[in-house]
Amino acid sequence: MYVAVKGGEAAILATHDLVAEMRRGDTSVPEVSTAQIREQMSLAVARVMNEGSLADADLAALALKQAQGDAIEAAFLMRAYRTTLPRLGSSQPLDTAAMAIRRRVSATYKDLPGGQVLGPTYDYTHRLFDFGLTGTSDAPPSAMPSDVALDTRMPRVPDILGAEGLMEPETPPEGDPRPFDLTRDPVEFPADRDVRLQALARGDEGFLLGLAYSVQRGFGGNHPFAGEIRMGEVPVEFVPEELGFAVDIGDLTVTECQMVNQFKGSKHVAPQFTRGYGLAFGHAERKAMSMSIVDRALKGRELGEAASYPAQQDEFVLYHSDNVEAAGFVEHLKLPHYVDFQGELELIRRLRRELEERIAREAVESGVLPKAAE
Amino acid sequence: MQKTVTPSGSPRDEAYNFAYLDEATKRMVRRALLKAVAVPGYQVPFGSREMPLARGWGTGGIQVTAAVIGPEDTLKVIDQGADDTTNAVSIRRFFARVAGVATTEATAEASIIQTRHRIPEAPLEAGQILVYQVPQPEPLRKLESSEAETRKMHAWGDYGPMYVRLYEDIARFGHVATTYSYPVLVNGRYVMSPSPIPKFDNPKMHMSAALQLFGAGREKRIYAIPPWTEVKSLDFEDHPFEVQKWDEPCALCGAPDSYLDEVITDDQGGRMFVCSDTHYCEGRRDAGHRGRLLGTDAGRALARDGE
């Protein structure tokens, strides 16, 4: 039977209809709304905003709905839209010290100014199914506000260490230039920290998690301490040119992680702690923690450490952590390659023929012909 | 049934700028293209944009085409030499929508030809632009994984490792065992990847009358071969470069000199060889050339005779 390998426009259009049908599923089940996704799938929404590099929960919810919950496909939709948006300018740097805290934990101090705030976390849930969730319930959630307000002063742990001179200082480069934008300009290597942090911020959570894990397990030289993880709302300020002063344009929910790592010092630098930094949209602790460990690993070059492991090599990490690019290239193998494959077919047939001819020739020359019937 | 120019059926989608990219981005891509033309074979980094098509699916070629196309242009898109492969159809639809340009399958009638994996069989003419989709622009990548290192190798013209690789093939097999992405030396200076075209097509790049532009979207590189530029496939004096040959001509049009695809016709080992360049094949059939299987069931299925 002959199978046609060439497809046409009608077939492509039909795939669009089939996708729409599959997305909707059983029509006797009510359709999910993007508002439901935004409110009830907020961790998935945060992941799509991070990897899509666009802080817009409504669009992320739409992307998730359109992509049937596929996080990478949803991030791709976000990026393809984001790339068409004009750039009005850059906000002022976020001040995470001024965050309205919903969660804040430190693993390096038992207690610290502002205290430990557990907030919403799965950390101490037992991973047992809550079968009550299979149905729906009108009962409102039972979390009640505390009688005691949180401390207004919640200093960041690295700042506390920094006050004692134990933490490497991190100051902007001279003149505090506008950071590199890797969505507008090609990355060159070795990549500077602003480029690395940007790439990590949009990098695949799973890939960065694996890399961070590799650093911890022995494919890396650092032992990280979770100096602080905080999550909450920070105000975003923007200076419109015509006004000349900063205007508050809204709040962002972000998760910040600062990992504290030992550094034994070098000839010219006293022993001190070094920092790995992670920042993500929404509640995204796993992402922020992984990012901060990999950020620290990539700092090795500046600190004079050998780049022996994958997590320490900026080309390896930056090129391969982008899941939209990676997915595109891996999946492009679905495209026809029969022209190249024809070349390989011709070559392998020729190589096999040449090998058989050589074996036969050598057999004749060495006189060990297959024996004729005796 | 010779295909000619199809005027764009519907007006272009006004929700997007002409050819999708904004004008500032097009200018950025054109600057990279000008540099690429000025330094043939050199890989120019450019601010590759995130496109609504997936990386690895032609985003580099699409950005180059978008930067050079105008309303008067006629576009041809091929993949594996064929106009009707799915991704070629998809890209042609994209430009019909966002640029509203006329499209064609006729090589001679196209002012811009975007291609993946092939160069058309018919020689290109002055004024035509061939845009290649490039997955991996770096010919040295398999020898050296670091981009920082390969850029230095190009700067120093340090191509020894590439010749060693070719030599190792010869020592082992008696000939170079590379069938596609066969490296070329452009204008006597830069070693360049011709993109994964079969080495059969390499000689067509040499002294071509057309402008050849290469776009690698994911890797964010653009390079070019201006018209009438020397392009030499790497080889040795005692082992000169050679291209693939087939034992039989095209089963549809009888062409003895085109690149052939092998098509499996049954599960009994039956196969036929047909031109990969579908337009070239149709043109020859229209001119009265007949291959061995034209008119048979298998031939009809492939030759689109049922139209």
Q: Comparing A251 with A161, which gets the higher pLDDT?
A: A251
Of B50, B200, B264, the CB nearest to A183: B50
Sequence-ordered list of residues with C-beta below 8 angstroms from that of B307, at least 6 positions apart, any chain: B1
B253 is catalytic: yes
Q: What was the pLDDT predicted at A87?
A: 85
Q: What was the pLDDT predicted at B10?
A: 65
Q: Do A7 and B89 touch (CB under 8 A)?
A: yes
Residue numbers of A between 238 and 257 with CB closer than 8 Å to B: none
Domains of chain B plus CATH, in order, are 1-240 (3.40.50.11310), 245-307 (no CATH)
**A63-75: per-residue pLDDT in tens?**
999 999 999 999 9
Q: Looking at beta carbons, which residues of chain A come within 8 Å of B89?
A: 7-9, 12
B250 is catalytic: yes
Q: What was the pLDDT predicted at B53?
A: 93
Helix (H) or strand (E) holding B28: helix B23-38
Rounded to the nearest angstrom, the minimum Cα separation between A219 and chain B is 19
pLDDT, average across residues B215-232: 97
B160 is catalytic: no
Q: What was the pLDDT predicted at B8?
A: 66
Closest among B125, B77, B132, B130 to B101, alpha carbons compared: B77
Mutate which of A1, A3, A5, A6 to test chain B, going by most B C-beta atoms within 10 A?
A6
CA distance A64 to A78: 10
Rounded to the nearest angstrom, the minimum Cα separation between B32 and chain A is 12
Residue numbers of A between 338 and 367 with CB closer than 8 Å to B: 338-340, 342-347, 351, 354
Q: What was the pLDDT predicted at A5?
A: 40
Rounded to the nearest angstrom, the minimum Cα separation between B160 and chain A is 23
Rounded to the nearest angstrom, the minimum Cα separation between B290 and chain A is 21
Q: Do B51 and A340 touch (CB under 8 A)?
A: no
A87 interface with B at CB cutoff 8 Å: no
Give whole-number Cα distances, B5 to A12, A162, B97, B107, B121, in Å: 22, 70, 16, 10, 19
Q: Comparing B5 with B86, which gets the higher pLDDT?
A: B86
B174 is catalytic: no
Q: Looking at beta carbons, which residues of chain A come within 8 Å of B246?
A: 346
Q: ipTM score of the complex? A: 0.86
- Which two three-digit tokens encode residue B7? 């005027």
Q: What was the pLDDT predicted at A105?
A: 95
pLDDT, average across residues B60-77: 97
Place of tokens 């993949």: B79
A82 interface with B at CB cutoff 8 Å: yes
Q: What was the pLDDT predicted at B265?
A: 86
Q: Do B84 and A83 touch (CB under 8 A)?
A: no
Residue A16 backbone dihedrals phi, psi, to 5 degrees:
-65, -40
Rounded to the nearest angstrom, the minimum Cα separation between B97 and chain A is 14
**A111-150: per-residue pLDDT in tens?**
888 899 999 999 999 999 999 899 888 888 888 888 888 8
Q: Cα(first)–Cα(last) distance of chain A, in Å?
A: 48
CA distance A116 to B193: 57
Q: Looking at beta carbons, which residues of chain B come within 8 Å of A4?
A: 301-302
Q: Comparing B8 with A196, which gets the higher pLDDT?
A: A196
Rounded to the nearest angstrom, the minimum Cα separation between B27 and chain A is 13
B281 is catalytic: yes
pLDDT, average across residues B13-28: 92
pLDDT, average across residues A44-59: 98
Give whole-number Cα distances, A136 to A89, A131, A133, A139, A140, in Å: 44, 11, 6, 9, 11
Helix (H) or strand (E) holding B76: strand B74-79
Q: Do B198 and A339 touch (CB under 8 A)?
A: yes
Q: Comparing B9 with B293, which gets the higher pLDDT?
A: B293
* B269 → chain A, closest CA residue: A1
Q: Comparing B8 with A115, which gets the higher pLDDT?
A: A115
Angle at A77 between CA B64 and CA A179, to 5 degrees: 70
Q: Is B187 strand, coil or helix?
A: coil
Helix (H) or strand (E) holding B283: helix B278-286
A10 interface with B at CB cutoff 8 Å: no
Size of interface A-B (CB pairs under 8 A): 143
CA distance A335 to A370: 47
The identity of residue B271, as a single letter, is: R
Q: Do B148 and A4 touch (CB under 8 A)?
A: no
Q: Cis (ω within 30 of 0) for the bond into A190?
A: yes
pLDDT, average across residues B181-188: 97
Q: Do A336 and B85 touch (CB under 8 A)?
A: yes
Mutate which of A1, A2, A78 to test chain B, going by most B C-beta atoms within 10 A?
A2
Rounded to the nearest angstrom, the minimum Cα separation between A338 and chain B is 7
Encode burial over A198-234: b for 16+ CB neighbours within 10 A, e otherwise: bbbbbbbbbbbbebbebbeeeebbbebbbbbbbbbeb
Q: What was the pLDDT predicted at B307?
A: 40
HEC states along chain A?
CCCCCCCCHHHHHHHHHHHHHHHHCCCCCCCCCHHHHHHHCHHHHHHHHHHHCCCCHHHHHHHHHHCCCCHHHHHHHHHHHHCCCCCCCCCCCCCHHHCEEEEEECCCCCCCCCCCECCCCCCCCCCCCCHHHHCCCCCCCCCCCCCCCCCCCCCCHHHHHHHCCCECCCCCCCCCCCCCCCCCCCCCCCCCHHHHHHHHHHCCHHHHHHHHHHHHHCCCCCCEEEEEEEEEEEEEEECCCCCCCCEEEEEEEEEEEEEEEEECCCCCCCCEEEEEEEEEECCCHHHHHHHHHHHHHHCHHHHCCCCCCHHHCHHHHHHHCCHHHHHHHHHHHHCCCHHHHHHHHHHHHHHHHHHHHHHHHHHHHHCCCCCCCC
Q: What was the pLDDT predicted at A125?
A: 92
Q: Which of B60, B61, B215, B253 is catalytic?
A: B253
Instruction: Tell the burial category of B304 from Cβ atoms under 10 Å away from its Cβ (0-12, 13-18, 19+).
Output: middle
Percentage of chain A exceeding pLDDT 70: 96
Of B49, B51, B179, the CB nearest to A343: B179
Q: Which of B215, B275, B291, B299 is catalytic?
A: B275
Give whole-number Cα distances, A309 to A221, A296, A313, A315, B261, in Å: 9, 13, 7, 12, 44
CA distance A19 to A158: 49
Report the range out of A148-162, A173-187, A287-301 with the highest average pLDDT: A287-301
Least confident of A48-52, A111-115, B213-217: A111-115
A315 interface with B at CB cutoff 8 Å: yes
pLDDT, average across residues A212-216: 95
pLDDT, average across residues B230-247: 94
Q: Which of B58, B81, B100, B250 is catalytic?
A: B250
Q: What is the pTM of this model?
A: 0.89
